[in-house]
Chain A
Amino acid sequence: MAGLATTFGSGAMTNSINEIENAEVILVSGSNTTEAHPQVARRMLEAVDRGARLIVIDPRRTRLAECSHLHLALRPGTDIPLLNAMMRVLLDEGLADDLFIEMRTENFLALRDMLNRLDLAETAELTGVPLPLIRQAAQLYGRARKAVICYCLGVTQHVCGTENVQTIANLAMLAGHIEKEDTGVDPLRGQNNVQGACDMGALPNMLPSYQDVHNEDFREKFERGWGVKLPEAPGLTLVEMTHGGAQGSIRGMFIMGENPMLSDPTLSKVEETLRGLDFLAVSDIFLTETARLAQVVFPAACFAEKSGSFTNSERRVQMVRQAVPPPGECRADSEIIMELSRRLGYAMEYDSSGEVMEEIALLSPIYGGMHHDRLEQNWGLQWPCWDRNHPGTPFLHKYYFTRGRGHFMPANHTPPGELPGPEYPLLLMTGRIYHHYHTGTMTRKSERLTRECNQAVLQINPLDAKAQGLRQGETVRLVSRRGEITLAAGITDQVEPGMVYTTFHFAEAPINLLTNDAFDTGSRCPEYKVCAVRVEKIMDS
């Protein structure tokens, strides 16, 4: 979310989910919305039924792309040139919102100069999308009165992920499509409480409510609140921790409800690092691939066995309520943390999650008015919610951006960290499917969900399949420079020739053995959307 933070000042959806259905033009980039965010897709399709225009930017012909008016099937990793070309069209055709740019933004000249130097035909060539199609998309987006851009991990999981997001923000500001209801830029968050975990400061460089660890004033405020001196240097990010190697600087880890042994890139490195630790403790509801490597495993209560709150993609903080007692000896993670903290000499005593929330409200300005008794009423509250009387904020950046003026951040094309070549001729993209969630720890335990889908499928174009003599459903070997797995071939023209696609939900076909650990330097997000592979037919043995 570093991209939106530097341009707008807040890394979150600017709109509410329901506003999407009132937009006139919806631009979706790098989001397989019908599978990963079914409720958001429902709003998009309802908007289309009411006459909205839908533009989908995706290398694959996803279900949403099939419902779109314009499908820009770009080459993976060419988001920046595509959006730059759209912006150049806006400038050339007088569709830029001059008043908005003048009143609300800064650094426009840098963007304009960069765009004016652009060779449109050459840029279009780079993306693989015909120029007339790009022009049409730009005109649709630029002329709309209410337009939203929704994007997801297809935009961020690249070496240039931060620049991709900044370029999206540039486009929205250039067209003046921000600050209003039903108009804005909406990053869809993958997991149920990613937004909340970020808000709560589960980040190496941020204290709760995005208060920078670097900043002495913020640190001092928390030192007063918590009564101890806090470390000044920002910490390591997740992948820096899990890729340190057996002799890395990290010697001990505590992992709560995460499964880096399936979710992180280049899994062999993760395994080496975790096995090389002096100590690993894991708290989870099932014995995950990661928990199997631990010295101590704590049985945790699941969401139905504890109370607290989640924050969804539209910044809505909502109650999670206990329905049943935890099974066996399971305990809520909060209890486990308090027990450990007390033993380590820093006692934390809270009688309820509501009491924890009171402390959060005290120290985190954007959660200032979030109290459990208020969240219990209505349907929660959307941050920023500054105090007890504040009604919450359905859409952001009205009258002024969080950072003051919106900041244009011009960016140029950065090629992916690894591209197909003679030895590995295919380009692999990874993603999600409708029936499963993340590493499948929960969904693969569900009888009906596994009945619908219980194996990893490699989507491959009929031309590529024919060249290898593959049949539908045949087990094939997928090889990259980092490893190999076997999985079933699914022959479909959803993917273009030269590309293959699969998901990361399945432990028996752990695709992240293959993925590249090239990172975006801004957000440390791994490049899951592009790496080079080859498909091998398995000969009868």
Chain B
Amino acid sequence: MPDAFDVLTTCVYCGCGCGLYLHVKDGLVCGSQPSRHHPVSRDNLCVKGWHIHESINHPDRLTTPLIRKNGALTPTTWEEALDFTAQQLGRIRDLHTGRAIGVLASAKCTNEENYLLQKFARTALATNNVDHCARL
């Protein structure tokens, strides 16, 4: 793979859905550029789209799972985080039924992830308590 290339993708900042290229150099996204022929962006981006790469490489990104120990969030392994979460959600489901569990999906995540999350809520957690911030 060359050390600099462009990837065509879809902007995440509003419902317009501009087509843009992410410039990748040395494994990092370092810039963006509008797609010239995309029906929405038509060679144009707003200020948020032009600076979309700045939040991707930000040093504050979470990079390890965290678990609350003695009141503080502390780094942990994926195994422990996943096991503990599944155990807690399972306990609540078995004790109070799925109606005691709430799941929030996201208008920033992909269709496929939203589909999986509502399927997870309705099957594994046995609840229709699934929503996202469509109205906010």
Chain A contact residues, CB within 8 Å of chain B: 1, 16-18, 36-40, 42, 156-157, 188-205, 207-208, 213, 222, 226, 228, 230-231, 233-239, 241, 249-258, 260, 263-264, 278-279, 281, 284-287, 291-292, 294-300, 302-306, 308-314, 316-325, 327-334, 336-341, 343-346, 348, 350, 353, 356-357, 359-360, 379, 434-438, 442-443, 445-449, 452, 523-526, 528
CB pair A446 B55 closer than 8 Å: yes
B2: CB under 8 A from chain A? no
Interface centre among A38, A314, A339 (most CB of B within 10 A): A38
Nearest chain B CB to A354's CB is how many angstroms away?
8
Query: Which single member of B12, B57, B88, B103 contacts A279 (CB below 8 Å)?
Result: B88
Q: List the A side residues contacting B84 at CB < 8 Å.
A: 295-296
Nearest chain A CB to B15's CB is how many angstroms away?
4
Query: Which single member of A193, A195, A325 contacts B108 (CB below 8 Å)?
Result: A193
- Chain A to chain B contacts (Cβ below 8 Å), 11 pairs: A16-B39, A17-B16, A37-B15, A200-B105, A201-B118, A203-B130, A264-B133, A281-B88, A333-B117, A340-B85, A436-B48
Nearest chain B CB to A230's CB is how many angstroms away?
5
CB pair B8 A321 closer than 8 Å: yes
Q: Give Cα A512–Cα B84 distance, bound, in whole angstroms.
A: 32
In order of increasing CB-CB distance, the 5 nearest A-B pairs are: A328-B63, A312-B17, A308-B110, A235-B128, A257-B106
CB pair B134 A337 closer than 8 Å: no
CB pair B109 A40 closer than 8 Å: no
Q: List the A side residues contacting B114 at CB < 8 Å.
A: 193, 196-197, 200-202
Q: Give Cα A114–Cα B34 distance, bound, in whole angstroms.
A: 49
CB pair A295 B61 closer than 8 Å: no
Given contacts A237-B131, A302-B56, A344-B86, 14 further A-B contacts (CB under 8 A): A238-B131, A249-B99, A251-B100, A252-B102, A287-B62, A295-B88, A309-B10, A318-B17, A319-B10, A327-B57, A329-B63, A333-B106, A334-B113, A448-B54
B70: CB under 8 A from chain A? no
CB pair B15 A360 closer than 8 Å: no
Q: Give Cα A321–Cα B9 distance, bound, in whole angstroms.
A: 5
Given contacts A312-B17, A344-B124, A434-B47, contact A196 B111 (CB under 8 A): yes
- The tally of CB-CB contacts under 8 A between chains A and B is 426
Query: Which single member of A157, A327, A524 contacts B61 (CB below 8 Å)?
Result: A327
Q: Give Cα A332–Cα B109 distance, bound, in whole angstroms.
A: 10
Query: Which single member of A340, A524, A528 contacts B120 (CB below 8 Å)?
Result: A340
Chain B contact residues, CB within 8 Å of chain A: 7-19, 22, 24, 27-29, 37-41, 44, 46-48, 51, 53-58, 60-68, 73, 78, 81-90, 92-93, 96, 98-120, 122-136
CB pair B110 A310 closer than 8 Å: yes
CB pair B62 A192 closer than 8 Å: no
The chain A residue sitting closest to B80, CB to CB, is A296
Q: Give Cα A158–Cα B66 distance, bound, in whole angstroms.
A: 38
Given contacts A238-B104, A251-B96, A297-B66, contact A379 B55 (CB under 8 A): no
The chain B residue sitting closest to A42, CB to CB, is B44
Query: Which single member of A1, A203, A294 contacts B131 (CB below 8 Å)?
Result: A203
Given contacts A238-B131, A446-B51, contact A320 B9 (CB under 8 A): yes
Q: List the A side residues contacting B134 at CB < 8 Å.
A: 1, 194, 197-198, 203
CB pair A197 B107 closer than 8 Å: yes
CB pair A330 B136 closer than 8 Å: no
Interface centre among B9, B10, B63, B113 (most CB of A within 10 A): B113
Q: Give Cα A357–Cα B16 distance, bound, in whole angstroms.
A: 22
The chain A residue sitting closest to B81, CB to CB, is A296
CB pair A445 B10 closer than 8 Å: no
Q: Give Cα A482–Cα B116 distance, bound, in whole angstroms.
A: 37
